[in-house]
Amino acid sequence: MNIKKSKPVIGISIGDINGVGAEVTIKALQDSRLHKIITPVIYGHGKVLTFYKKNLGLEEFNFMQIRNISEVHHKKINVINVLPESPEIIPGVETAEAGKMALAALSQAVADLKDNHLNALVTAPLNKNNIHTPENNFIGHTEYLTEAFESKKSMMFMVSEDMRVGLVTAHVPIRAVADLITPQLIREKLNIMIQSLKDDFGISKPRIAVLGLNAHAGEDGLLGKEEIEIIQPLIRDYKDKGALVFGPYPADGFFGMLHHRKFDGILAMYHDQGLIPFKTISFETGVNFTAGLPIIRTSPDHGTAYDIAGKNMANEGSMRAALFQAYEIICRKGNWEEE
């Protein structure tokens, strides 16, 4: 593939076919701007796309089924059947069969990524519950991709035009968070964030805010000592080396007073501390980006939304943003010439 003459190829894993993944994918790909800059390859099944385009009344949505990535057509929306037959499509219902297709789609897309046939991957929402089994300890896209690409270090990085939030800990029980907050882990995530802001987002000297772990950032040790013993010394070390790292900030006042607008990146200590304000502010345009991997992966910032699946109610804004973000990072990293 001549990357200077053909458009970048972006894979889309279909996610849970009973959720809103197919719907937001179809709606997002209705945007004519995307067709001018990317070649989409949907990993799923043609019957799923046909079902949802009829369900949405979008008969003008056309796609081309290909047997494998070597047959990709740069002027079409391509679809690869990852299973011989599509499971029954039951919008809003969790089924084991839908979980098998979601995992098969992700697995095939990852294989093509490893073989350098894709320039980026956008993952539609899936359901961890119908994929996770005693034999398959699946706990999320981020963890799956980190293991698949044998990367020891990665970070869930939620990005939008308004803010960028990274997580020190992600998919772990809240009771385990405090024990996981160590200088080594915070340093690892800070380094990933700094490098990603430079390489993936083109910010040469990023300003980063670090949130405290405890309420009111520990209140000078009255509500917890992690800020004094772990976070503050680490921030001083970064400042001594010339990095623009500040904090620790109390999370409630930080977002309430709109301080997030002053920083290029915000490092939160745990999942809900960072994602609740992010999704409140940027839900329809937010993107989940996995920083620290050797490949580019983005995703919409929402889940399967079973409650509205098949009802033509899902907003495709986040999926559209994920596709544009993937393209922008491809170009920014020097893998493409932006049109």
CATH number at residue 193: 3.40.718.10
Q: Is the pLDDT of residue 118 over 50?
A: yes
Which pLDDT band, with edges at 50, 70 and 90, does 51 fall under? very high
Contact present, 118 and 10 (Cβ < 8 Å)? yes
Q: Is the pLDDT of residue 133 over 80?
A: no
**Chain segment 260-307, per-residue pLDDT in tens:** 999 999 999 999 999 999 999 998 889 999 999 999 999 999 999 999
Res 43: pLDDT: 98
This prediction's pTM: 0.92
Strand partners, 64: 78
pLDDT over 70, % of the chain: 97
Average pLDDT, the chain: 93
User: Same structural domain for residues 203 and 248?
Assistant: yes
**Sheet strands (E) in the chain:** 9-13, 39-44, 64-66, 78-81, 120-123, 155-159, 164-167, 207-211, 244-249, 265-268, 287-291, 297-300
Question: Which residues make Cβ contacts (< 8 Å) with residue 36, sequence separation at least 6?
Answer: 339
Average pLDDT over residues 63-81: 96
Kindly report the length of the chain. 339
User: Same structural domain for residues 100 and 178?
Assistant: no
Q: Higher model confidence: residue 135 or residue 48?
A: 48
Can you tell me the distance from the alpha carbon of 246 to that of 232, in angstroms, rounded to the nearest whole number? 9
* Residue 223 structure tokens: 């509500």
For 266, the domain range is: 153-292
User: Same structural domain for residues 146 and 224?
Assistant: no
Can you tell me the distance from the alpha carbon of 82 to that of 102, in angstroms, rounded to the nearest whole number? 9
The beta-carbon contacts of 222-230 under 8 Å, at least 24 apart in sequence, are 226/178, 226/181, 230/181, 230/182, 230/183, 230/186
User: Same structural domain for residues 10 and 144?
Assistant: yes
Average pLDDT over residues 236-240: 97
Res 337: pLDDT: 52
User: For 40-49, 96-105, 132-141, 174-183, which range has the lowest pLDDT when averaged over its residues?
Assistant: 132-141
User: Same structural domain for residues 273 and 195?
Assistant: yes
Give the helix/strand (H/E) hosting 333.
none
Which pLDDT band, with edges at 50, 70 and 90, does 135 fall under? confident
Which pLDDT band, with edges at 50, 70 and 90, does 197 fall under? very high
Helical axes 317-332 vs 21-28, angle rounded to 10° = 60
Counting the structural domains of the chain, the total is 2
Which pLDDT band, with edges at 50, 70 and 90, does 336 fall under? low
Average pLDDT over residues 316-333: 95
Which pLDDT band, with edges at 50, 70 and 90, does 3 fall under? very low
User: Same structural domain for residues 176 and 238?
Assistant: yes
Which pLDDT band, with edges at 50, 70 and 90, does 333 fall under? confident
Q: Is the pLDDT of residue 233 over 80?
A: yes
User: Same structural domain for residues 114 and 157?
Assistant: no
User: Same structural domain for residues 116 and 37?
Assistant: yes
User: Same structural domain for residues 192 and 229?
Assistant: yes
Strand partners, 80: 43, 66
pLDDT over 90, % of the chain: 87
User: Same structural domain for residues 164 and 208?
Assistant: yes
Average pLDDT over residues 130-149: 85
Can you tell me the distance from the alpha carbon of 34 to that of 84, in angstroms, rounded to the nearest whole number? 29
Average pLDDT over residues 191-217: 96
Question: Which residues make Cβ contacts (< 8 Å) with residue 256, sequence separation at least 6?
Answer: none
User: Same structural domain for residues 177 and 267?
Assistant: yes
User: Same structural domain for residues 137 and 204?
Assistant: no
Average pLDDT over residues 226-255: 96
